[in-house]
Chain A
Amino acid sequence: MAELNSKVPKGPLTSKWSHYKDHQNLVNPSNKRKLDIIIVGTGLAGSAAAASLGEMGFNVKIFCYQDSPRRAHSIAAQGGINAAKNYPNDGDSIYRLFYDTIKGGDYRARESNVYRLAEVSNNIIDQCVAQGVPFAREYGGSLENRSFGGAQVSRTFFARGQTGQQLLLGSYGALSRQIKLGTVKLYDRHEMMDVVLVDGKARGIIARDLVTGKLERHFGHAVVIATGGYGNVFYLSTNAMGSNTSAIWQIFKKGAWFANPCFTQIHPTCIPVHGDYQSKLTLMSESLRNDGRIWVPKRKEDAEAHRQGKLKANDITEENRDYFLERRYPAFGNLVPRDVASRAAKERCDAGFGAGSTGLAVFLDFRESIGRLGKHVIEERYGNLFQMYEKIVDENPYENPMMIYPAVHYTMGGTWVDYELQTSVTGLFAAGEANFSDHGANRLGASALMQGLADGYFVLPYTIQNYLAGEIRVARMSTDKAEFAEAERGVQTRLEKLMAVKGTRSVDHFHKELGKIMWEYVGMARNEAGLKKAIELIRKLRAEFWKDVKIPGTMQELNTELEKANRVADFLELGELLAYDALNRNESCGGHFREEYQTDEGECKRNDEDYKYVAAWEYKAEGEFILHKEPLDYEEIEVKQRVYK
Chain B
Amino acid sequence: MDLTLKIWRQKDAKSAGKFVTYPLKNISPNCSFLEMLDILNEQLIQKTEEPVVFDHDCREGICGMCSLYINGRPHGPDDAVTACQLHMRKFSNGDTIVIEPWRARPFPVIKDLMVDRSAFDKIIQEGGYISVNTGGAAEANNILVGRENSELAMDAAACIGCGACVAACKNASAMLFVSAKVSQFALLPQGQVEAKQRVKKMVRMMDELGFGNCTNTYACEAECPKLISRSNIARMNREFMCAKVI
Contact = CB atoms under 8 A, between A and B. Distances in A.
Contact of B87 (A73, A391, A557): A391
A75 B63 contact: yes
A500 to B, nearest CB: 15
A87 B141 CA distance: 9
Interface residues of A, number: 79
Contacts of A125: 140
Interface string B140-161: 1101111100100110011011
Given A138-B147, A275-B28, A126 B62 contact: no
B134 to A, nearest CB: 4
B64 to A, nearest CB: 6
B48 interface: yes
B61 A388 contact: yes
A559 B120 CA distance: 24
B56 A241 contact: yes
Given A68-B120, A132-B184, A280 B60 contact: yes
A550 interface: yes
B95 interface: no
Contacts of B188: 132, 134
Contact of A130 (B111, B136, B144): B136
A173 interface: yes
B31 A277 contact: yes
B233 interface: no
Given A134-B184, A143-B140, A165 B62 contact: yes
A162 to B, nearest CB: 6
Given A68-B117, A211-B110, A508-B38, A176 B154 contact: no
A67 interface: yes
A570 B178 CA distance: 40
B12 interface: yes
A177 B125 contact: yes
Interface centre among B62, B114, B125 (most CB of A within 10 A): B62
A188 B118 contact: yes
A240 B59 contact: yes
Contact of B39 (A242, A277, A282): A277
A130 B134 CA distance: 10
Interface residues of B, number: 77
The main secondary structure of chain B at its interface with chain A is: loop
A70 B129 CA distance: 13
Contacts of B169: none
Contacts of B136: 130
B125 A180 contact: yes
Contacts of A388: 60-61, 85
B184 A173 contact: no
A391 B62 contact: no
A166 interface: yes
Interface string B19-59: 00000000010111011001100101110111101011111
A131 B117 contact: no
Interface string A68-86: 1111010110000000010
Interface in A164-182: 165-166, 169-170, 172-174, 176-177, 179-180
Contacts of B121: 68-70, 176, 179, 186, 188
Contact of B154 (A66, A159, A506): A159
B126 A180 contact: yes
A9 interface: no
Nearest to B89: A394
Contact of A558 (B48, B53, B56, B85): B53
A603 interface: no
B57 A71 contact: yes
A372 B136 CA distance: 43
Nearest to B156: A134
B83 to A, nearest CB: 12
B58 A73 contact: yes
A552 B59 contact: no
A126 B44 CA distance: 51
Contacts of B32: 279, 392
B87 A131 contact: no
A99 interface: no
A137 interface: yes
Contact of B125 (A55, A139, A179): A179
8 contacts: A127-B135, A131-B132, A162-B158, A177-B131, A391-B78, A457-B134, A558-B110, A560-B51
